[in-house]
Structure 1
Amino acid sequence: MGFLKQEVPVIDFETWSQGTRAEKIKPMARHWAEVGFGTPVVLHLFYVVKILLYVFVGALFGLATKGIDGFTNIGSWWSEPIVYEKAVLYTMLFEVVGLGCGFGPLNNRFWPPMGSILYWLRPKTIRLPPWPNIVPLTKGDSRGPVDVVLYAALIVMLVVALFSDGTGPIPELGTTVGLLPTWQIATVVALLALAGLRDKVIFLAARGEVYGAFAVAFLFSGVDVIIAAKLVCMAIWIGAATSKLTRHFPFVISTMMSNSPVMRPKFLKRMFFAKFPEDLRPGRMSHILAHFSTAIEGLVPLALFFSHGGWPTAVAAFVMVCFHFGILSAIPMGVPLEWNVFMMFSVLSLFVAHAQIGITDITSPWPILLFLALATTVVLGNTVPRKVSFLPGMRYYAGNWDTTLWCVKPSAEAKIEQNLVTIANMPAAQLEKFYGSKEAAQIPIFMGYAFRAFNTHGKALFTLAHRAMAGQNEDDYSITDGERICSMAIGWNFGDGHMHNEQLINAMQTRCQFEPGEVRVVLLDGQPIHRQRQAYRLVDAATGEFETGYVNVADMVNRQPWDDTLPVHVTSERRAGAQRPGE
């Protein structure tokens, strides 16, 4: 990795450019295994500075509270419950305006480096309601004044709460400062819910399954606030660990560690693969680390929750802080950096500073009911992944997500640029502008393909792309990860195929009126935890779904990243380009 320049693969561009997609991915994958994306060091330092600013500004909001004084006297106030409340609301604000997950070049956002607030305060951008046929007054896919007002009100209310003081002494929590006024928390929860029912992307971007759940916990009283917050942490950790009990997670480990800016020696990176350079499936080291980290995430929180101080709490807290720091130091793609900092603070603020408060101190059933609601969502997310986003399903880092791959003709790209209300350009155009030419942009494009192909689902996506473009000249299409389309079209993305499925396809079709064959999309569901297969759909934007089927996980985990010849099991099909049923 260079300090100012990306370390790119050394190839004969003319020869390389004449190969098939699989042949082009192969040298990119080998480069990734030794170097990662090759991100310049200065860019990683940029994210480090961003993390430090996040912490600094968060501390300032804590100090804006009456009764909390002294930046250099942090030891006297860091464990105040109101400081934790403000940390939650501040991080929700940080995320929902677009500064958190998915920010900047490491999420392929070059200019502007964020979407979110730039889209969601702008009328006529695309919105995606979660249940438009069930929840009244949520139908439609165009952002209107009501949506803008709800989003703006959420931001304003978060800022108001961050500058508010506590309500006074609460002896059972050992605080004289108190907690934030309940009406403020209730207003934030209500606005987040209303905005989310109109546009699920806002709820997901605010990380509603995390910070929204904590905000609900703050509606309780006395020790139940702390107990409920601890239970939210438990749901996050154990839910995330549960989702990793599949064959996908070692692929995440090998891909993430080879891209780590901390672990720089190439010989160490190679150790995470079976036999570099011929066999780039995860090696023994990846499997060991995958199992070990899953055990930590699933078991250590139990010790943290049920111990009440002393060395068991100290050891468990140390392990969990190290766990999150390990993820943070890898600066993973998608950059969920502040979330990991927040979780480290949660360990200290909830489980160390309030170790004496445990489940036996509970005074109402509400904390238990909140935990059960989160646990139920986790179960549904792991058993029916098409119905539940991987975020509320707590399938973080699991490598088992709903994904899409878009095959787009130049004529369709022109329609998108002309008809969608967006801030950013099409992904390829952004890369061409950033790297200086269409030819130079091919390297990062195929490095992106390699990243996707290192994950199990990537092999299925590229295999199914051939079927999606059947009957067409594949050279006529640009192959674009659904994440990039999502980022451009709706202003935020974070690895969640639920935001670029048929709902987004239909919204774009309404605006762009694609012709049959102009846009073909591969949609791959996540793996239900109790089944060893993943369902797929092939969709033509103009004429609808034309093929469904599944791929077996066993075939995905035994192939090389560049292999796009997986066995495909078709369950239904009709001629691509034929009219939708009923038309």
Structure 2
Amino acid sequence: MGFKTGDFPPVEQEEFLEKPLQERLRTLALHWVEYGFGSPKMIPATYVVKVLFLHVLAGTALATWTSGVGPFWDVTHWWNEPVVYQKLVLWTVFLETLGVAGSWGPIAGKFKPMTGGILFWARPGTIRLRPWKRVPFTGGDRRTAGDVLLYLAFLLSLLPAVVLPGVPTESLTQALPDNTSGLVRPALLIAPIVLYALNGLRDKTIFLAARGEQYLPALVFFAVLPFTDMILAAKLLICMVWIGAGVSKFGLHFTNVVSPMVSNSPCIPSKRIKRLHYRDFPRDIRPSKVATFMAHVGGSTVEIVTPLVLLFSTNRWLTLVGVALMVVFHLFITSTFPLAVPLEWNLLFAYLSIFLFLGFPAWDGYGVGDMSSPLLAAGIAAGLAFFPVLGNLRPDLVSFLPSMRQYAGNWASALWAFAPGAEEKLNSLPHRPTQNQVDQLQAMGYPAAVAEITMQQTIAWRSMHSQGRGLFSVLLKNLPDLDERTVREAEFACNSLIGFNFGDGHLHNIDLINAVQARVGFTPGEWIVVWVESQPIHRGTQHYQVIDAALGVIERGTWRVADAVKEQPWLPNGPIPLDVTWTREDATHATHETHDEAHETVESRTP
């Protein structure tokens, strides 16, 4: 891999694209084992520069300069200043909401332009996805001028809290008599809190992109709690995030996340280390015992045990070890450049680990038992646990982000299958500031075949995860013309339609399909979506849907997760067992009719 040249799959491009889908998946999955996406070093270097300048340098410079502490390059002057902590959280919210933090750039499927976010959400007419149909005044799926004003008002409301100096409070003075920098003025947080909620009720995409499930509670704590309670509530919040993520890694999914994530890390150049995470490369690329150890010892165990230690420990050395573990944990995730690229979030959490548990340790009066009221502590803990508990029991009701299932591998997911030429219809979508990703790549100078193979690498990546084997099984069962179709990974593809995705299939479910269909008008069989919900924590199955954009849902069913993880990514033994629970009567006719038309089209183009 060079700085400007990547490790592209070693295939005869035109010949490769004529091969059956399963053969292509095998080739690309095996390539992923050793090279990941194969991006040139310039790509991760671009992210490093962005994070250093926009988040680390600009964020700390603003937070320290406007708070009268610093200089910002002398960390010893400000690392445990409460107002700096508050402002770094607010600055991160601003960057996330703007669209230049998580889910940004080429690794997230944004090539030209590299930014989604504001380009979509500040543009009337783009697609808006409401979270709950029963909430009044949220009907429709078109972004209005009012939605744009609401979004821009939220962005702007964050800045005064970042740039204005802190003010002293009685509770802060009692806890830290020598503090002179104060806290963010609570009145400045009212508008961001209200606008956070209003934007979230109108558009779930903006709320999830702004990581409202984590930052909105933090802003509420900043605004309403006295200082010591604010610190303790923040500890409960970060521990809930960690523990929720750790619990979500139980089961069969997460081990299948670790291997492809390590393979994609530019910080692990050794092919030998990457291969160690697979059972018997190239014959068997299911996760190895090393991957299992990394997943459930280095992952779930660390995320559950360490936060509990940090929350209750009064031992300095034990707390120091716990903080070091969590910092290394987040830096490791950052180093792998995961496909949603939540780099700023991970760096912030590494800092929060130090600030909260070493800056304000339990033995200095900041233990959970030091909260002003046991009822307050219990109420905050119960409130923070509500959505993670509900989301694990009923994943259809809660996004995987409020469910605290980051990186768990247990995601609502989808694949899109287009009849020949049908994908191009998406480029007619009105008010959309981007084109399809394959067209973005060609606009950057990639030959058509290279652009297509690059996008097919993402479906090979999906096949390496548990739900990918199920999704491809449903496609193979339902589409006899699958080898002639264009298959896309929905997480990537929906980025070009709504400006954001963080691995959450709820952002490209039937609501998005209907919104696109109303604007574009696919004919039956042209755009087939196979979509699967996350696995409930107490069940061994996942529920899937087959959606025809023109007809709606045409099939429902389930598969056993245990069956999915037993197979190789390219399904050499054929589809895994599926339990079809409902089928629309005219569905078979529609898909076979499209198959016949597509076959005629292919034949007419053959010399």
Fold in common (TM above 0.5): yes
Q: 1:558 to 1:577 in 2, by over 3 A?
A: closer
Q: What amino acid sits opposite 2:264 in the alignment?
A: N
Q: Do the aligned residues in 2 keep the contact of 1:119 with 1:423 (CA within 8 Å)? A: yes
| Distance in 2 of aligned mates of 1:67 and 1:445 | 49
Residue aligning to 1:156: 156
Out of 269, 294, 310, the residue aligned to residue 264 of structure 1 is 269
Deviation at 1:360, TM superposition (A): 1.5
Q: Do the aligned residues in 2 keep the contact of 1:543 with 1:578 (CA within 8 Å)? A: no
Q: 1:14 to 1:261 in 2, by over 3 A?
A: same
Question: What does 1:177-256 align with in structure 2 at a 5 Å threshold?
Answer: 177-219=181-223, 220-256=225-261
Q: Do the aligned residues in 2 keep the contact of 1:123 with 1:145 (CA within 8 Å)? A: yes
| Distance in 1 of aligned mates of 2:16 and 2:206 | 41
Measured against aligned partners, the alpha-carbon deviations of 1:301-337 in whole angstroms (never above 9, x if no partner) come to 1111112351111111111111111111111111111
Deviation at 1:578, TM superposition (A): 8.8
Q: 1:199 to 1:554 in 2, by over 3 A?
A: same
Deviation at 1:505, TM superposition (A): 0.9
Q: What amino acid sits opposite 1:27 in the alignment?
A: T
- What is the DSSP-based 3-state SS (H/G/I as helix, E as strand, rest coil) of the residue aligned with 1:480? strand
Residue aligning to 2:102: 101
- What is the DSSP-based 3-state SS (H/G/I as helix, E as strand, rest coil) of the residue aligned with 2:543? strand
Measured against aligned partners, the alpha-carbon deviations of 1:111-160 in whole angstroms (never above 9, x if no partner) come to 1101110111111111011112x211111111112211111111111111
Out of 399, 411, 433, the residue aligned to residue 389 of structure 1 is 399
Q: 1:412 to 1:183 in 2, by over 3 A?
A: farther
Question: What does 1:425-464 align with in structure 2 at a 5 Å threshold?
Answer: 425-434=435-444, 436-464=446-474
Deviation at 1:576, TM superposition (A): 4.4
- What is the DSSP-based 3-state SS (H/G/I as helix, E as strand, rest coil) of the residue aligned with 1:218? helix
Query: Share of identical aligned residues, percent?
Result: 40
Deviation at 1:213, TM superposition (A): 2.0
Q: Do the aligned residues in 2 keep the contact of 1:29 with 1:454 (CA within 8 Å)? A: yes
More displaced, 169-178 or 144-153? 169-178
| Distance in 1 of aligned mates of 2:43 and 2:211 | 25
Residue aligning to 1:92: 93
Question: What does 1:362-373 align with in structure 2 at a 5 Å threshold?
Answer: 362-364=371-373, 365-373=375-383
Question: What does 1:146-545 align with in structure 2 at a 5 Å threshold?
Answer: 146-169=146-169, 170-174=172-176, 175-219=179-223, 220-292=225-297, 293-308=299-314, 310-355=316-361, 356=364, 357-364=366-373, 365-409=375-419, 412-434=422-444, 436-469=446-479, 473-475=481-483, 477-545=485-553
Q: Do the aligned residues in 2 keep the contact of 1:37 with 1:259 (CA within 8 Å)? A: yes
Q: Do the aligned residues in 2 keep the contact of 1:214 with 1:229 (CA within 8 Å)? A: yes
Question: What does 1:1-80 align with in structure 2 at a 5 Å threshold?
Answer: 1-53=1-53, 54-80=55-81
CA RMSD of superposed structures (Å): 1.8
Q: Do the aligned residues in 2 keep the contact of 1:468 with 1:520 (CA within 8 Å)? A: no
Q: Do the aligned residues in 1 keep the contact of 2:541 with 2:558 (CA within 8 Å)? A: yes
- What is the DSSP-based 3-state SS (H/G/I as helix, E as strand, rest coil) of the residue aligned with 1:379? helix
| Distance in 1 of aligned mates of 2:444 and 2:538 | 44
Residue aligning to 2:601: none
Residue aligning to 1:546: 554
- What is the DSSP-based 3-state SS (H/G/I as helix, E as strand, rest coil) of the residue aligned with 1:531? coil
- Structure 2, unmatched stretches of 5+, are 591-607
Is the counterpart of residue 118 in structure 1 residue 119 in structure 2?
Answer: yes
- What is the DSSP-based 3-state SS (H/G/I as helix, E as strand, rest coil) of the residue aligned with 2:513? helix
- Structure 1, unmatched stretches of 5+, are none
Deviation at 1:209, TM superposition (A): 1.1
Q: Do the aligned residues in 2 keep the contact of 1:273 with 1:280 (CA within 8 Å)? A: yes
Q: Do the aligned residues in 1 keep the contact of 2:392 with 2:537 (CA within 8 Å)? A: yes
| Distance in 2 of aligned mates of 1:409 and 1:17 | 15
More displaced, 368-377 or 341-350? 368-377
Measured against aligned partners, the alpha-carbon deviations of 1:183-221 in whole angstroms (never above 9, x if no partner) come to 222221110000110001000000111211211221212
Q: Do the aligned residues in 1 keep the contact of 2:9 with 2:28 (CA within 8 Å)? A: yes
| Distance in 2 of aligned mates of 1:281 and 1:376 | 35
Q: Do the aligned residues in 2 keep the contact of 1:381 with 1:388 (CA within 8 Å)? A: yes
Q: 1:238 to 1:98 in 2, by over 3 A?
A: same
- What is the DSSP-based 3-state SS (H/G/I as helix, E as strand, rest coil) of the residue aligned with 1:390? coil
Deviation at 1:410, TM superposition (A): 5.1
- What is the DSSP-based 3-state SS (H/G/I as helix, E as strand, rest coil) of the residue aligned with 1:327? helix
Q: 1:207 to 1:221 in 2, by over 3 A?
A: same
Give the aligned length: 577
Deviation at 1:515, TM superposition (A): 1.6
Deviation at 1:17, TM superposition (A): 2.9
| Distance in 1 of aligned mates of 2:588 and 2:202 | 33
More displaced, 3-12 or 548-557? 3-12
| Distance in 1 of aligned mates of 2:589 and 2:146 | 35
Q: What amino acid sits opposite 1:184 in the alignment?
A: L
| Distance in 2 of aligned mates of 1:266 and 1:419 | 42
TM-score (ref. length: structure 2): 0.92
More displaced, 291-300 or 439-448? 439-448
Q: What amino acid sits opposite 2:19 in the alignment?
A: G
Q: 1:419 to 1:39 in 2, by over 3 A?
A: closer
More displaced, 350-359 or 190-199? 350-359
Q: What amino acid sits opposite 1:313 in the alignment?
A: T
Measured against aligned partners, the alpha-carbon deviations of 1:161-193 in whole angstroms (never above 9, x if no partner) come to 111111215224413322111122222111000
Q: Do the aligned residues in 1 keep the contact of 2:411 with 2:505 (CA within 8 Å)? A: yes
Q: Do the aligned residues in 2 keep the contact of 1:540 with 1:576 (CA within 8 Å)? A: no
More displaced, 393-402 or 17-26? 17-26
| Distance in 1 of aligned mates of 2:145 and 2:265 | 43
Q: 1:469 to 1:576 in 2, by over 3 A?
A: farther
Q: Do the aligned residues in 2 keep the contact of 1:485 with 1:500 (CA within 8 Å)? A: no
Measured against aligned partners, the alpha-carbon deviations of 1:442-475 in whole angstroms (never above 9, x if no partner) come to 32122112111111111111111234435xx335
| Distance in 2 of aligned mates of 1:392 and 1:23 | 37
| Distance in 1 of aligned mates of 2:551 and 2:12 | 41
Q: Do the aligned residues in 2 keep the contact of 1:119 with 1:125 (CA within 8 Å)? A: yes
Deviation at 1:411, TM superposition (A): 5.4
- What is the DSSP-based 3-state SS (H/G/I as helix, E as strand, rest coil) of the residue aligned with 1:212? helix
Q: Do the aligned residues in 2 keep the contact of 1:172 with 1:222 (CA within 8 Å)? A: no
Deviation at 1:486, TM superposition (A): 1.5
| Distance in 2 of aligned mates of 1:428 and 1:468 | 25
- What is the DSSP-based 3-state SS (H/G/I as helix, E as strand, rest coil) of the residue aligned with 1:539? strand
| Distance in 2 of aligned mates of 1:239 and 1:8 | 37
| Distance in 2 of aligned mates of 1:172 and 1:523 | 55
